[in-house]
Amino acid sequence: MATALLSGMTRLESRNMGLIILGHALTHWYPATFYMLLPLIGSEMGLSYSQIGFIMTCQYAAGAISNVPGGMLVDVWGKKGQLMALSLFWVGFPYLLMGFTTEYWMLLLCVMLVGIGNNLWHPTAIPLLGRMFPERKGFVLSLHGMGGNVGDALAPLVVGVLLTTLSWREIVLLNVVPGAAMSVLLLFFLGALTFAPKAKASPSDADHSKNQPATNQPAIVNGGGQSMTSYMEGLRTLMRTRGLFMLTLSSSFRSMTQGTLLTFLPLYLAKDMKYDIFWVGVILAILQLAGFIAAPIAGHLSDTMGRKTILVSCFGVSGVVLLLMTFAGATPLFVFLIAVLGFFLYAARPIMQAWMLEATPKNMGGTAIGLMFGMQSGAQAIAPVLGGIVADQYGLLSAFYLLAATIILANIMVIWIPSSDTVEAKK
């Protein structure tokens, strides 16, 4: 299926898309590494579940504050390759600083810097891919999402192995290398990359175009961006977009589910199910592998069947699975349900992004995605500390009831989006 859908893509297009996907993998590699190290950091510093949850709250809060200004910067400046390189470096460097932290407040400062850098990536990369492949947004954004799944899946496995010989401080020091290297590659190959709409073909060009591959690509130019006057006009149009608020709110509840799950699932596996750190990494990799498999399937189906239909199905199954996990408890069935959850929970992510791009003006894609991820980060900032309070009072498994509630709310928001705002299946 993937080969057929990617047919007609030039070598340059393939390279650019591959670099963006690989960069996205690294933006997820770093947080996935940190999730694995959190139990060790918490034990060394003597932190409670609430304090551990507050670490992630600070990271998400910083991302929430920086996302909307970051999206504005993307739309006004337009130098997307440079911004992606900056984002990736900004994600990796604070982990280097983290290796030298000895105080809780210093750790919080580092994760806030990570939150700022990590959330500059999506308002840049997602609209860029949408412009590159306008007819295949769902599928191409699912490939971008698969890059994130690869980073999320490989990091726990690699860190689980490294922790058998290295300390968590040594790992975060080494971890800065791949991000710095990838930043250089992005800057070299995509540093001047922006896109301008193609001019309409004249009748005299018709015969010539028959012999050329159809890519639906805009032209690559050295320039881009827009004036503040043009931007403010686009912003007013964006704020009047129907269904924008409900879609953004739904994505926020879904992110609450994901953020809380990734914070407390490793803790539950390590403390309640007594898995050693290597097997915790394996199980988290299974969660991400399931999302990796699901992403292109769901993305393609959303391009053909409609975004709303696929989202409602994904969210509905995710809610049922989370409730089943609370009944399964510390049993092998719990591990199996983690894989099922990963398949449906992660499949929804690129679909929502594609839907958001289709609902907004083309010159406002960075701001729209920044708004979406800003609200997601704000919701994620609240969820881990709430989960920590619930876990401190009633036990870790009780936090999964909170997860089920948030994904059910996400589904309700999608259902309430007027049918006229949905993406109809292509005929």
Check whether 224 has a pLDDT greater than 50: yes
Per-residue confidence (pLDDT) for residue 7, from 0 to 100: 57
Does a structural domain hold residue 201? no
Per-residue confidence (pLDDT) for residue 205, from 0 to 100: 40
Does a structural domain hold residue 341? yes
Per-residue confidence (pLDDT) for residue 108, from 0 to 100: 92
Per-residue confidence (pLDDT) for residue 316, from 0 to 100: 92
**90: three-class secondary structure by DSSP:** helix
pLDDT digits (tens, 9 = 90+) for 28-76: 888 888 888 888 888 888 888 788 878 878 887 887 787 778 778 878 8
Taking the complete model, does pTM exceed 0.75, yes or no? no
Does a structural domain hold residue 327? yes
Check whether 340 has a pLDDT greater than 70: yes
Residue range 211-239: average pLDDT?
Answer: 59
Q: What share of the chain is helix, strand, coil (3-state, %, to 5)?
A: 80, 0, 15
Residue range 81-107: average pLDDT?
Answer: 85
Q: Record the tokens describing residue 37, joined without a space.
A: 């190290």
Residue 163, domain CATH:
1.20.1250.20
The Cα 337–Cα 273 span in angstroms is 15
Does a structural domain hold residue 2? no
pLDDT band at 250 (very low <50, low <70, confident <90, very high): very high
Check whether 152 has a pLDDT greater than 70: yes
Does a structural domain hold residue 9? no
Regarding predicted confidence, which is higher, 419 or 212? Answer: 419
**Those residues with Cβ within 8 angstroms of residue 112's Cβ, 6 or more apart along the chain or in another chain:** 58, 59, 61, 62
Provide the domain count of the chain.
1
pLDDT digits (tens, 9 = 90+) for 253-272: 998 888 888 888 888 888 88
CA dihedral 299, 27, 29, 107 (to 10 degrees): -140
Residue range 119-128: average pLDDT?
Answer: 83
Residue 298 belongs to domain spanning: 14-195+226-421
Residue range 343-354: average pLDDT?
Answer: 87
- Quickly list DSSP for 189-240: HHTT-EEEPPPPPPGGGHHHHHTS----PPEEES-----HHHHHHHHHHHHT
Per-residue confidence (pLDDT) for residue 293, from 0 to 100: 86
Per-residue confidence (pLDDT) for residue 193, from 0 to 100: 52
Q: CB–CB of 76/230 below 8 Å? A: no
Does a structural domain hold residue 205? no
pLDDT band at 206 (very low <50, low <70, confident <90, very high): very low
Does a structural domain hold residue 273? yes
**Percent of the chain having pLDDT more than 90?**
6
The DSSP symbol for 242 reads T
Q: CB–CB of 64/381 below 8 Å? A: yes
pLDDT digits (tens, 9 = 90+) for 183-197: 888 888 876 554 444
Does a structural domain hold residue 145? yes
